[in-house]
Amino acid sequence: MNLQKEFTAAIVIIGNEILSGRTVDKNTSFLSSWLNDKGISVEEVRIIPDKEKVIIDTVDHLRRTFGYVFTTGGIGPTHDDITSESISKMFSQKYQYHQEAYKILEKYYENQDFNEGRKKMAKMPEKAKLIQNPKTFAAGFYVENVFVLPGVPSILQAMVVNLDKLILSGSKILSASIDTSLRESSIAQELEEIQKKYKDVDVGSYPYFKEKPGTVLVMRSTNKESIDLCEKEIRLLVKENIINS
Residues 197-226 that bind a second copy (CB under 8 A): 202-209, 218, 220
| Residue 6 interacts with a second copy (CB under 8 A): yes or no | no
Q: How far is CA 9 from CA 4, 89, 139, in A?
A: 11, 22, 21
Q: Find, among 187, 184, 218, the residue nearest to 204 by Cα.
A: 218
Instruction: Determine, following the binding rule CB under 8 A, whether residue 192 of this chain makes contact with a second copy.
Output: yes
Q: Per-residue string for binding with a second copy, 63-82, x by CB under 8 A?
A: -------------xxxxxx-
Binding-residue total with a second copy (CB under 8 A): 73
Q: Residue 187 corresponds to which amino acid?
A: I
CA-CA distance, 62 to 42, in Å (whole number)?
12
Which residue of 43, 200, 228, 233 would you call a contact of a second copy, by CB under 8 A? 43
Q: Which is nearer to a second copy, 127 or 135 (CB)?
A: 135
Indicate the residue among 161 and 207 with the shorter CB distance to a second copy. Answer: 207
Give yes or no for residue 57 binding a second copy (CB under 8 A): no
* Stretch of 46-54, 90-98, 124-132, 163-171 lying at the interface with a second copy (CB under 8 A): 46-54
Q: By C-beta, is 168 or 208 nearer to a second copy?
A: 208
- CB-wise, 116 or 225, nearer to a second copy? 116
Residue 42 touching a second copy (CB under 8 A) = yes
Residue list 137-176, contact with a second copy (CB under 8 A) = 152, 154-155, 173, 175
180-205: b (≥16 Cβ within 10 Å) or e: bebebebbeebbeebbeebeebbbeb
Amino acid identity of residue 215, one-letter, is T
Nearer to a second copy, 1 or 229 (CB): 1
User: Phi first, then psi: what are they for 181, rounded to 5°?
Assistant: -80, -5
195 binds a second copy (CB under 8 A): yes
| Site residues (CB under 8 A) for a second copy, limited to 10-39 | 13, 15-26, 28-36
Total residues belonging to the chain = 245
**Residue 217 CB, nearest approach to a second copy (Å):** 9
**Least distance (Å) between residue 178 CB and a second copy:** 13
Q: Which of residues 114-133 bind a second copy (CB under 8 A)?
A: 115-118, 120-121
